[in-house]
């Protein structure tokens, strides 16, 4: 007979009549081995599920693969139709990676060794176990019981075996599961709509910047009384690029290179680790600009010798442009909008100091534009198969340059429109957070017998 707890089994919480407190280990076999697999043919097609195939948001196996049994028989986690999968390793577990194995090829599946597998017994529905482990409260408890070393923390099997779970009769489980899935289906539809809006806003932002950098965002104005782009370059002691192969530009614009618009293009050096300290000057790393903004939350500090030429060369000023030149976020760019007092850059960051500070905003938008600067820089970075830019790449980046007065008007219009988009994005994000809370509220009510 299945062992059970008393009615106040978890935190003194009582249950409805007919329910019992038990443990997951009492109602499901955890990480069991199926000896019948030994008798199956090596050529039998089976479903293969890497961790990446599980959609954490929807709780489904979104991208299953098919492989012959001989390729996965050893070194992978076996499971069958109706089993429940839970990611055991950080951060996949905290992100909610869990799913019920359904429609497996020949009823068999194999996957990442970082899955725990629950095989429900006759007294419980797979859906009851699945929705239970999708609760944030369960994941918090699981995280608090991680074992292992940093970066390799996992949920131990013993934690799952002993974890309390409320168990109603099967008929009640079916009713509640149906109600959970009805409510979550409506919620998922709403969240999907919000995600579509969010994706549409990202595309719209990109189109705003693209149009701005093509001179299509504003109605044309006469430039008779204003300095055109060629004259601007002449004032800086530079000449416009004359090349019939380059795309045509609006009246008063011209082609140039980023180097001709900058008085200083450099990058950090490799020796800064020796200057790390608990306080001191701000040290800007690639992760501080990976959203195309300078976000100094988890700040690193350095205390370098202030009179060193190397140090002076990499000191950051207001209106500088900072470009990630190595790593996964190569080309991500930020404009320094504030006086940082004293700040320096790491070896993974390029520093561009425009000759005219008032051109900094326009150049920033040019560099981050997916169709213009970013596209060109990414082509340079990935051309050799390794994501990385050098200072020559930055200097030679082509720029479609408007007259200075038009730059100001373009930037003002871009920022006006992006401000409106930002307000809508904030509303969408609030909606997504609220939907997530509603999801957890539904699950909490279900397992307290209030649904």
Rounded CA gap, 281 and 302, in Å? 5
| Angle subtended by helix axes 136-144 and 126-133, to nearest 10 | 70
Using CA atoms, how far residue 106 sits from 25, 33, 50, 62, 110, in Å, is: 27, 17, 18, 18, 12
| Domain range 20-167, its CATH number among 1.10.3720.10, 3.90.110.10, 3.60.20.10, 3.90.220.20 | 3.90.220.20
Residue 386 has pLDDT above 80, yes or no: no
Report the pLDDT value the prediction gives residue 33, as an integer from 0 to 100.
84
- Mean pLDDT (the chain, rounded): 91
Question: Percent of the chain having pLDDT more than 70?
Answer: 95
346 contacts 306 by C-beta, under 8 angstroms: no
Residue 172 CA to residue 141 CA, distance in Å, equals 26
Task: Say whether 138 sits in a helix, a strand or coil.
Answer: helix
Question: For residues 300 and 285, is the Cβ–Cβ distance under 8 A?
Answer: yes
Q: How far is CA 433 from the centre of its chain?
A: 16
With cut-offs at 50, 70 and 90, classify the pLDDT of residue 70.
Answer: very high
pLDDT of 366 above 90 = yes
- pLDDT (tens digit per residue) in 321-363: 999 999 889 999 999 999 998 999 999 999 999 999 999 999 9
pLDDT of 151 reads 73
pLDDT at 225 over 70: no
Instruction: Provide the pLDDT confidence category of residue 1 given band limits of 50, 70 and 90.
Output: very low
According to the model, what pLDDT value does residue 231 have? 95
Q: Model pTM? A: 0.75
Q: Where are the beta strands (DSSP E) in 275-348?
A: 276-277, 281-284, 300-302, 321-324, 333-335, 343-345
Q: What pLDDT score does 42 carry?
A: 93
Range 74-98 average pLDDT: 94
CA distances from 306 to 58, 64, 90, 342, 353 (A): 53, 57, 42, 10, 20
Same fold, 20-167 and 227-402: yes
Q: Where are the domains of the chain?
A: 20-167, 169-221+406-451, 227-402
Q: Is residue 449 a contact partner of residue 16, using CB atoms and an 8 Å limit?
A: yes
Q: Which residue has the higher pLDDT, 326 or 272?
A: 326
Residue 271: is its pLDDT beyond 90?
Answer: no
CA–centroid distance for 430 within its chain = 17
Give pLDDT, residue 312: 86
Highest mean pLDDT (candidates 21-25, 36-40, 225-229): 21-25
- Tell me how far apart the alpha carbons of residues 84 and 27 are, in angstroms, rounded to a whole number: 12
How far is it, in rounded angstroms, from Cα 340 to Cα 315? 10
Indicate whether 380 pLDDT > 70.
Answer: yes
- What is the strand order of the sheet 108-111 is part of? 65-68, 45-49, 108-111, 77-80
Cα separations in angstroms, 263 against 68, 72, 143, 234: 61, 58, 51, 15
So what's the pLDDT on residue 384? 61
- Statement: residue 6 has pLDDT above 80: no
The highest-level CATH class for domain 227-402 is: alpha beta
- Quick one: tokens of 430? 């609030």
pLDDT category of residue 221 using cuts at 50, 70 and 90:
low
Integer Cα distance of 245 and 414 in angstroms: 28
Q: Which residues contact 416 (CB under 8 A, 6 or more apart)?
A: none
* Rounded to 5°, angle at Cα 341 from 340 and 346: 60
| pLDDT value of position 218 | 83
Residue 269: the pLDDT is 84
The neighbouring-strand residues paired with 23 are 164
Nearest to 10 by CA among 146, 164, 154, 212: 164
Separation of alpha carbons 239 and 31, rounded Å: 70
Contact 339, 319 (CB under 8 A): no
Quick one: tokens of 236?
Answer: 């800086």
């Amino acid at each position: 007979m299945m062992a059970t707890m008393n009615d106040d089994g978890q935190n003194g919480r009582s249950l409805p009549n007919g329910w019992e407190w038990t443990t997951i280990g009492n109602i499901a076999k955890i990480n069991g081995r199926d000896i019948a697999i030994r008798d199956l043919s090596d050529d039998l097609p089976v479903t293969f599920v890497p961790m990446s195939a599980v959609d954490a948001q929807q709780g489904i196996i979104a991208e299953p693969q098919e492989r012959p049994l001989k390729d996965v028989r050893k070194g992978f986690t076996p499971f069958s139709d109706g089993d429940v999968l839970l990611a055991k390793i950080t951060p996949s577990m905290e992100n909610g990676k869990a799913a019920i194995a359904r429609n497996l090829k020949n009823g068999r599946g194999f996957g990442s060794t970082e899955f725990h597998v629950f095989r429900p017994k006759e007294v419980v529905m797979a859906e009851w176990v699945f929705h239970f482990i999708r609760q944030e409260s369960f994941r918090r408890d699981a995280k608090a019981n991680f074992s292992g070393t940093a970066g390799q923390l996992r949920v131990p099997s013993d934690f799952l075996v002993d974890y309390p779970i409320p168990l109603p009769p099967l008929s009640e489980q079916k009713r509640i599961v149906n109600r959970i899935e009805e409510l979550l289906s409506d919620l998922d539809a709403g969240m999907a709509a919000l995600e579509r809006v969010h994706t549409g806003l990202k595309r719209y932002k990109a189109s705003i910047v693209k149009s701005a950098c093509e001179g299509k965002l504003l109605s044309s104005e006469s430039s008779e009384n204003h300095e055109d782009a060629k004259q601007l370059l002449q004032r800086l002691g530079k000449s416009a690029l004359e090349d019939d192969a380059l795309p045509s530009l609006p009246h008063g614009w011209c082609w140039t290179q980023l180097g001709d618009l900058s008085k200083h293009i450099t990058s950090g050096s490799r020796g800064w680790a020796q200057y790390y300290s608990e306080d001191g000057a701000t040290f800007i790393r690639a992760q501080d600009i990976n959203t195309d903004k300078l976000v100094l939350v988890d700040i690193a500090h350095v205390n370098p010798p202030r009179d060193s030429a190397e140090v002076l060369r990499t000191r950051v000023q207001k209106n500088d442009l900072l470009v990630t030149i190595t790593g996964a976020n190569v080309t991500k760019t930020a404009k320094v909008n504030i006086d940082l007092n004293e700040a320096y850059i790491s070896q993974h960051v390029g520093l561009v100091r425009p000759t005219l500070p008032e051109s900094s905003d326009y150049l920033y938008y040019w560099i981050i534009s997916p169709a213009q600067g970013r596209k060109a820089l990414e082509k340079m970075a990935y051309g050799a198969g390794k994501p990385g830019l050098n200072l020559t790449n930055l200097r030679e980046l082509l720029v479609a340059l408007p007259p200075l007065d038009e730059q100001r008007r373009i930037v003002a219009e871009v920022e006006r429109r992006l401000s409106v988009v930002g307000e809508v994005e904030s509303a969408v994000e609030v909606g997504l957070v609220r939907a997530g809370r509603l999801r957890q509220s539904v699950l909490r009510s279900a397992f307290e017998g209030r649904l």
